[in-house]
Chains A and B, each alone.
Chain A
Amino acid sequence: MSNSVLVVGGGIAGIQASLDLANRGTKVYMVEKTPSIGGRMAQLDKTFPTLDCSICILAPKMIECFRHPNISLLTYSEVKEIKGEAGNFTVKILRKPRYVIAEKCTGCGTCMEKCPIKVPNEFDMGMGDRKAVYMPFKQAVPLVAAIDSRNCLYFTKGICKVCQKVCPSSAIDYEQEPEETVLNVSSIIIATGFDSFNPRTMTEYGYGKFKNVILSMELERIISASGPTAGHLIRPSDGKEPKTVAFIQCVGSRSQHGEFPFCSSVCCVYATKESILIKEHAPETKVYVMYIDLRAVGKGFQEFVDKAQKTYDVQYIKAHPGGIAEDPVTKSLQIYYEDILTGNMKKLETDMVVLCPALVPKEDNKKLAEMIGLELDEFGFFKSKNALTLPVDTNVPGIYICGYCQSPKDIPESVAQASGAAARAAETIACVAKEATS
């Protein structure tokens, strides 16, 4: 019998669930696949509807996880096997080698400065560069470098070793091996978040072909002060400030014939937020949001959209965009769309297009589900035991779900559900203890 809880996923949902449990005295193991916790929220510039700086409100929670005596962070790690039952799960965790000794690394960044290999930076959606030895972002937790062995010269060609030479703490260790850790936990909370659909396959929008057609998350990094352009709103083709920006909603989602018939729930409002941020960066910019139904269903969201319209003059167009063409010389774009209000085909000239793609369940959910027989729904979201009355329970007693991996939702809902999953895990611990004594 164990009294501890495993949380899978280090985004805001996993962080909230971990902190709630740890603060009530429960031992928590938090497993995160990437080198740092923080998840999607760490990538956002600001959050709706309060326009709080995202990393500024998240970072204290990330650090709290790092410093909490009841939380063990297992970053750059993956769940390999789950066995057992509520009250007594045995979980095998694979700790991938960072090739950097965590206890020695001070996060000074000297290795990153000197490393000769540049790799597209995933955190900045591939727009800026990182090095082969890297920390995913400046507020990363833990602030420990990792060597990406697929790109490192030493691992690919057996040469270089510059990072080892320059590291003032002798923290580089090329000999590190993957390690297996076995945990015994009472309960498991899954909070694996989402992936973004890649709209390359929707050729009508020209993503991947036209430089000035970008994804909403790319815009998020562009307008972020810590992003690849240090917060300057410029378009990729020529580095000039766009005079017009158009958002297209429901790219791949709410599709009648595609893979993702569901609504991602957050795009209408984050597009509104990004519109406001563009207007704050450059008030003269014309901003259009092309939508099917404007869904601002959360607390304060409709009011936020009203503000975007009235105070910031963001133009909302009920429209079905049929295609985008690029001017070969200026690289500006024309959006061809049906204006739903008039039924007319129209053309909008714009310097930049931002696509809001379907946010979809993680591919890896399948692997995790198969380990212990968890059910997924037809889209790949973890399935609630009862969609009406037991939203955070799964078909396996003692295993709970929260955040976007259960169904599309925004940050406050993810936070609430994460606390909810924590309560259920605490109930499991209490219940198993009671059974053991009776």
Chain B
Amino acid sequence: MSESKQPRIGVFVCHCGVNIGGVVNVPEVVEYAMTLPNVAYAEENLYTCSSEGLSKLGEAIRKHELNRVVVASCTPRTHEPLFRGACEEVGLNKYLFHMANIREHCSWVHPKEPGRATEKAKEIVKMAVAKAALLEPQTEPEIEVQPSALVIGGGVSGMTTALSLANQNFDVHLIEIQDTLGGRLKDLYKLYPNDTLSSEVLEEYVQAVRSNPKIVVYTSSKVKHADGFIGNFKVTVNQEGKEETLDVGTIIVATGAEVLEPKGMYCYGERDNIITQLELERLMREKKLENPTNVVMIQCVGAREGKEGGRNYCSRICCAVAVKNALEIKEMFPNAEVSVLYRDMQTYGKDFEEQYSRAREKSVQFIRYDAKNPPQVTASPDAKCIVRVHDILINETLELEPDLVVLSTPLVQTEEAKELSKILKVPLGADGFFFEAHVKLRPVDFATDGIYVCGTAHSPKTIPESIAQAYAAASRASIPMAVKKVRTEAITSFVDENKCSGCGTCVKLCPYSAIQKDEHGIARVNDVLCKGCGVCAASCPEKAIGMRHFSDAQVLAEATASLGGRRK
């Protein structure tokens, strides 16, 4: 199919059920589209994205010899790949497709004005048609992918990902900041839901990783610098002063999390018997917990703060940890009294609820406090520790005299991870944890291709949840490595070397470090790194930089159409 001859544009206007069709008069938009320049065909579809809609699109391209396609429907964020795929299937370069959003930009925002919404939909279609007439075919560079991965973090998540990838025959570099593998497993005592000793799990994992010939372990190591792109990352790792550059195809971030140290909260730090759950785990693991008679655990210490700029998230695991440790203390010291002061018991899922019931049967006291009226701990070196709490279930203020206070504090992002986020140019969310590409459907991908996240670096979670996510990261990373090549975005910038003065403005501004000057001082764009943001093109004082798929002519045509074609 010739793409260079006179444009023959097909316009497909979608009802999206009632989403568009309930407001916009779709047949009227179709009729209008037929009157636009270069439009050879127009039709309406109930759902253009349905398999029926897509086959009709393909048929129309063939039957009417269309060489440009406009679908007026929803958002390109979710549906553009689908329509582009349908065009490609019948041999039309996918960059000859253009999408007009008449749902989010029209029917959804003007549900009460169907007449004017229909007029607006026509304008949007007119703009899209004006741009489509000037579209040109583009090619996506294909790049080779190294079948090797870098896993950052040697805790349970990192080790799981490393093992899974190694079992799939990929080479793995596993780097750990501490001098031994294991991460949090080294601190914990018994692990829920089945009370396995953490030390046993640790040994099993480290043994499996150490004996796997496909995994190279670097302890006491840190990522210093990272360059490159999916398939071809160059990562400089510093191992105790010695630097090594690794060539890897993918990177998995499994750096874990820190436990919040509750400085200044509930007299923490003032007395030895006011500790965190993590410190309790260590005491139990080292068999150093000395016969407590009265233990008080306080939940949500520095979590679920519910204030502007606060630590507002729920750390997910602390309630189950408290229940597990309360049961453990009861097991070790049957006469000890244990009280858990909580706001909402987060014993979600199928196993925790049962443990929560068991704890109540073993007469662990669960005392519910209101966030507005938190417990008060008074402790002076010479006096007893006193915890005052208003139990909202019995509406009474209780005074407890524990000899051990355990504070359940949330998991928080590590300082190293914050640094890593800058080195890898992957974002952190408002809660400080790594921010994935899509909260719902891409939980372990970063928006940057070839970099993945798993475990508590992503958000607080249990060990089984971290392991499942670690396998997920292994699956996602395995895709480009198994296929051995990826195609990257064709919408990139390019430099007209006759116009480039070598001023370097674009080099400085490019947020993806995709532009460098060559030996003649001319700016050169790395197509793979370029994300097509257009910052360089907009700022080039010589107008030497152009954008593929967003040429000045195309953008102006669209803008002029929106102005009713008055400007030439």
Residues of A at the B interface (CB closer than 8 Å) are 12, 16, 20, 23-25, 47, 49-50, 52, 56-57, 59-61, 63-64, 66-67, 106-108, 138-143, 225-226, 230-231, 254, 256, 261-263, 265, 293-303, 306, 340-343, 377, 379, 381, 384, 386-392, 402, 407-409, 411-413, 415-424, 426-427, 430-431, 434
**In the complex, per-residue mask of B427-469: 1 if CB is within 8 Å of any chain A CB, else 0:** 0011101000011111110000000000000110001110111
**A411 — which chain B residues lie within 8 A by C-beta?**
440-441
A391 near B467: Cβ-Cβ < 8 Å: yes
**Nearest opposing residue in chain A for B467, CB measure:** A391
Given A293-B345, A417-B468: A412 and B350 within 8 A (CB)?
A: no
CA distance A230 to B50 in the complex (A): 19
B564 at interface by CB-CB < 8 Å: no
**In the complex, per-residue mask of B456-493: 1 if CB is within 8 Å of any chain A CB, else 0:** 00110001110111111111101100110000000000
Most buried by A among B74, B306, B312, B440: B440
B78 at interface by CB-CB < 8 Å: yes
CA distance A430 to B393 in the complex (A): 56
**B314 — which chain A residues lie within 8 A by C-beta?**
296-297, 301-302
A261 near B443: Cβ-Cβ < 8 Å: no
A422 near B52: Cβ-Cβ < 8 Å: no
Taking the nearest CB of chain A, how far is it from the CB of B207, in angstroms?
13
**Nearest opposing residue in chain B for A230, CB measure:** B18
A299 near B433: Cβ-Cβ < 8 Å: yes
CA distance A59 to B81 in the complex (A): 12
Q: Which 6 A-B pairs have the closest CB atoms?
A: A420-B471, A419-B472, A423-B475, A293-B344, A107-B52, A262-B350
CA distance A420 to B74 in the complex (A): 31
Taking the nearest CB of chain B, how far is it from the CB of A308, in angstroms?
12
CA distance A340 to B368 in the complex (A): 10
Stretch at the interface among B162-170, B497-505, B511-519: B162-170
**Which listed residue (B79, B316, B464, B478) contacts A391, Cβ 8 A?**
B464
Taking the nearest CB of chain A, how far is it from the CB of B451, in angstroms?
15
A388 near B168: Cβ-Cβ < 8 Å: no
Q: How many A-B residue pairs have CB under 8 A?
A: 237
CA distance A419 to B107 in the complex (A): 36
A343 near B395: Cβ-Cβ < 8 Å: yes
CA distance A271 to B441 in the complex (A): 20
**Nearest opposing residue in chain A for B304, CB measure:** A302
B367 at interface by CB-CB < 8 Å: no
B22 near A230: Cβ-Cβ < 8 Å: yes
B349 near A386: Cβ-Cβ < 8 Å: no
**B352 — which chain A residues lie within 8 A by C-beta?**
263
Given A341-B370, A419-B471: A143 and B52 within 8 A (CB)?
A: yes
* A-B CB contact pairs (8 Å), 27 listed: A60-B49, A67-B51, A107-B52, A108-B52, A226-B17, A230-B22, A265-B349, A293-B347, A295-B344, A298-B459, A299-B458, A300-B431, A302-B313, A302-B314, A340-B392, A389-B201, A389-B464, A412-B440, A412-B443, A415-B442, A419-B471, A419-B475, A420-B472, A423-B164, A423-B475, A426-B168, A427-B164
Taking the nearest CB of chain A, how far is it from the CB of B374, in angstroms?
15
- Chain A interface main SS type: loop
B194 near A386: Cβ-Cβ < 8 Å: yes
Most buried by B among A23, A381, A413, A419: A419
Taking the nearest CB of chain B, how far is it from the CB of A66, in angstroms?
6
B467 near A407: Cβ-Cβ < 8 Å: no
**Nearest opposing residue in chain B for A410, CB measure:** B440
B219 at interface by CB-CB < 8 Å: no
**A20 — which chain B residues lie within 8 A by C-beta?**
475-476, 479
Taking the nearest CB of chain A, how far is it from the CB of B277, in angstroms?
16
B398 at interface by CB-CB < 8 Å: no
**B350 — which chain A residues lie within 8 A by C-beta?**
262-263, 377, 379, 381, 407-408
Given A388-B191, A419-B444: A254 and B353 within 8 A (CB)?
A: yes
B196 at interface by CB-CB < 8 Å: yes
B351 at interface by CB-CB < 8 Å: yes
Taking the nearest CB of chain A, how far is it from the CB of B371, in angstroms?
11
Known: A225-B17, A265-B348, A293-B344. 15 other contacts (CB 8 A): A107-B50, A141-B51, A299-B313, A303-B312, A381-B350, A387-B464, A389-B204, A389-B464, A408-B349, A415-B472, A416-B444, A416-B468, A419-B475, A420-B467, A434-B169
**Which listed residue (B78, B192, B468) contacts A56, Cβ 8 A?**
B78
Given A138-B17, A415-B441: A387 and B194 within 8 A (CB)?
A: yes
Most buried by A among B196, B345, B441, B478: B441
**Nearest opposing residue in chain B for A361, CB measure:** B350
